[in-house]
Every structure is written in structure tokens, then in C-alpha cells.
Amino acid sequence: MCWQAEDNERRRNRLELVEAYNREAVLHLLMNGQVSAARRIAGVLRPALPDVLRFLVVECPSRLRPDLVRRCAGLIPGAWVVPCPVHADHLLVLAPVAPGEPAGEPVALAAAVAGATGGHPVGVSEAVPLRETAIAYGQAFHALAAARGRAQRYATFACRPDPVLVIGPALAAWAEGLLAPLRGHSPRRPQDPDGAELATTAASWLAFSARATAHLKIHRNTLSARIRQTGQLLDLDLDRLADQSLLALALRAERLSAACRPGPMAHDRAKGGTEGDAASLSLDDFLTRPTAVAWAHGLLRPVRTAPPAAALAHTLDVWLRNDARLGPTATELALSATAVRKRLTRIEDLLERSLLRSPSDRHELWLATHALDLAEAGTAPAPASTPARPSRPA
């Protein structure tokens, strides 16, 4: 009887592990935009995926995740609860959104999950369609950064304009021109990655940095080789934050334009003119537009107006100029790395965005800072022959 009990326990643990891997696979498909395949697998595993969802990220010690998985699944009917494959101290919850839910439902949901998990920090996204699961994850992750410093231990996503939507549909043509060498890449050997796989790897690396190996289940040398090949194809130095921000914006613009086809982009191309020639413009041409400058001012205002504004703003500028690296930033500011980290944590609280843990908001912050630098310098760049890269601040 003891042997049989132990064997049953091993079988149960194995089944739980297999189910966790299957649910993680569904999450991967959703994050990569493969909604149809994710729905088919989820239909077998149950519950079915909702049409509209709200993403929650719960931060907790890894040893508590199995217990919290059961608590969250019991608290939210129809929810998908998946241990995060990238961060060992995160639990991911995909909660269905009912039609006509009350306006205060996100706050009530966050408070309920925080209470059920023993006061662990919880970040909650906006309600989004299933195809925008990756966007919802980023929103919940940034809300989690704000929740850590709050007494109630939860936060909802603080909405702000998306730079792709601020700049307008012309950005899609620019992104298409920039990414054309990547999308048209054909591997020389069957085992080599094609352009689509390189783009997926680049998007994961931009979001998770070195932790993309856990997200994609590949070796770190494979990741390095793919990122190096992507940089060579696009003529970008992906060790620099400037070029990382350029690529991140292009991938996001491409993803949003694909979700909206046929739409304003097709009309925009058909009418010709300045917007029709958008592929020949540089990023600086877009960032000097009044709407982009206004977006940058709104994004950085909390840092530039909160006391001590000068110290925080200068720290952020130096950190971005040093490619978001703590060591060189601390050296230039003549501070310890701990002091720089504390200032960046303060900036996280002001912006309600994650900076020190990936996915980080450093790419949007670089774009906003560069837009203000161009505006203050009175730069009005002429159209460039190629859309390769923006001018970098000195």
C-alpha cells in the first residue's frame, strides 16, 4: 500500500508537470500572436480561452507558486493560471472579462487576488482582446512595479498614449522598410533560423534580455548568435540602447499595423504624398512631429517635476546614455551602484513602469528623451535615403 501510494503521488506530480508545460505552451502561442493554435490546445485542456481578457502578474516566492496557482484558479472562474517561465517569482493569470463589467472591476479583482495570495504584489492590465495578450502582459508587469511600493500591494495599469499610435499610421511603412532585410531573409541551411524566427527571437530578447533563453527554451549561445545575425541583417548595433529602441519600435509598429489591416495604412499608401513616402524618412523625422514631442513631454513630466527633479532627471539621462547599464552610470555620476539603483527605483514609482527588471520601459524612455533633445536643439532633419537608424545624442 505504501509503494502504491508513492507511485500514485509520482504519477500525480508528473501529470501536474505535463499540464503546466501544456499551459505554458498555450501562453507562448498567445504571446507570439498565434491565437488559433492556442485556442485549439486550450479547448482540450479547459477552460476555453476568453475573447477578452485581463492579465495579472503576481509576485511571490517560487516555493509558494503551486499553492497560489490553486488559490487563483479557485478565486477567478474560467481563469488560466500559469507559472511564469521567465521569472521564477512570478505567477501569470489570464482572467476572462465579462461583457459590461463594472468600471471598478479591475481594482476589485486586484484587491481580491492580493488578499487571496497573502498580500503579495499584484499588477493588473487593461481589458484587451485575446490577440493582444503580449501587450496585456507588458501592462501588468509595469503595474506590478507600481504595486511594490503601495500599501495595498496592488495596482492597475496607468494608461498612457502608445508612441506608435501617437506618431500615426505612416510609421508602419517606415517599419516595413527597416525590417525588410529581416523579413526577406532565407537561411542557407535547413537548420538555420529564417527571418520570422529571428524576428521572434529579437522581440523576446528586447523584452526579457538574457532571460529570453528561458522564454524561448534555447541556449544562450544560440540567442547571442541570432541577435548578432539580426543586427548584421538590419545594419544595427544591438549593443546600443538607441538601436534596440529603434528595433523595438519597428517591431511594435509592424505588429499593430498587421492587426489593423486593411485599414488606415492601406488608405495612407494609396493617397501618396508625405505619408506615402514614409519609408524614406528617418526616425528623427517622426520624433520631431508636434504630437511626438507632446507625448515625450507627458511621459517624462513626472520625473522632471518631482523633487529632487534635477537629480532624478539627470540620473535617467545618464542611465539611458550609457545603454541602461548601472556600472557606467554610477561611474559617470560618481555614485555607488546601490545609489543609482535607488534613484531608478524612485523613477519607477513616479512613472509606474518597470526599469530595472525586464520587460523594461527603457526603450520608450529613450525615444522620449531623444525626441525632447531634438526639440530643444531645434532639429528638423531632411528625409534620409534609408530608414536605418536615428541620429544618436552625443
- Tens-digit pLDDT profile for residues 249-272: 999 888 776 655 544 444 444 344
Bridge partners, 91 (sequence order): 58, 83
Q: Note the pLDDT tens digit of each residue in 186-222.
A: 988 888 999 999 999 999 999 999 999 988 889 999 9
pLDDT at 279: 62
Lowest-pLDDT range of 304-308, 311-315, 340-344, 347-351: 304-308
Give ∠ CA 287-290-360 in degrees, rounded to 5: 45
- 344, pLDDT greater than 50: yes
| 114 contacts 121 by C-beta, under 8 angstroms | yes
pLDDT at 269: 41
pLDDT at 264: 41
pTM of structure: 0.80
pLDDT at 258: 63
pLDDT at 141: 93
pLDDT at 277: 62
Give the SS3 label for residue 56. strand
Q: What is the number of alpha carbons within 13 Å of residue 190 lying toward its C-beta?
A: 0
Name the pLDDT band for 118 (thresholds 50, 70, 90): confident
CA distances (Å), 17 to each of 21, 40, 83, in order? 6, 20, 11
Q: Note the pLDDT tens digit of each residue in 65-91.
A: 888 888 888 888 889 999 998 999 999
Cβ atoms within 10 Å, residue 118 = 12
Please, what is the average pLDDT of the chain? Answer: 86
- 320, pLDDT greater than 80: yes
pLDDT at 297: 93
Rounded percentage of the chain residues whose pLDDT exceeds 90 = 49
Lowest-pLDDT range of 82-86, 153-157, 161-165, 293-297: 161-165
- C-alpha grid cell for residue 282? 528617418
55: left (phi over 0), alpha (psi -120 to 50) or beta: beta
| Mean pLDDT computed over 245-250 | 94
Closest CA to 280 of 379, 150, 170: 170
Tell me if the bond preceding 387 is cis, omega within 30° of 0: no
Lowest-pLDDT range of 85-89, 175-179, 291-295, 306-310: 306-310
| 80 contacts 49 by C-beta, under 8 angstroms | yes
- 44, pLDDT greater than 50: yes
For the chain, give percent helix, strand, coil, nearest 5.
65, 10, 30
Name the pLDDT band for 168 (thresholds 50, 70, 90): confident
Give all domains of the chain, ordered by start, each with its CATH number. Answer: 2-156 (3.30.70), 164-278 (1.10.10), 290-377 (1.10.10.2840)
- 331, pLDDT greater than 90: yes
| 237 contacts 245 by C-beta, under 8 angstroms | no
- 240, pLDDT greater than 70: yes
Q: Note the pLDDT tens digit of each residue in 98-108.
A: 888 887 788 88
pLDDT at 278: 62
Bridge partners, 81 (sequence order): 93
Lowest-pLDDT range of 34-43, 48-57, 157-166, 196-205: 157-166
| 30 contacts 130 by C-beta, under 8 angstroms | yes
Count of residues making up the chain: 394
pLDDT at 383: 38
| Parallel, antiparallel or unpaired: strands 90-96 and 80-83 | antiparallel
> What number of H helices and E strands is found in the chain?
19, 5
- 346, pLDDT greater than 60: yes
pLDDT at 159: 80
- 116, pLDDT greater than 80: yes
227 contact partners, CB below 8 Å, separation of at least 6: 201, 202, 205, 238
Buried/exposed code over 229-247 (b: 16+ C-beta within 10 A; e: otherwise): bbbebbebebeebbbbbbb
Maximum average pLDDT range among 272-286, 347-361, 367-381: 347-361
For residues 146 and 148, give the distance between their C-alpha atoms in angstroms, rounded to a whole number. 6
Residue type, 107: V
| 240 contacts 248 by C-beta, under 8 angstroms | no
pLDDT at 394: 40
Q: E strands along 198-350, which residues?
A: none
For residues 261 and 299, give the distance between their C-alpha atoms in angstroms, rounded to a whole number. 29
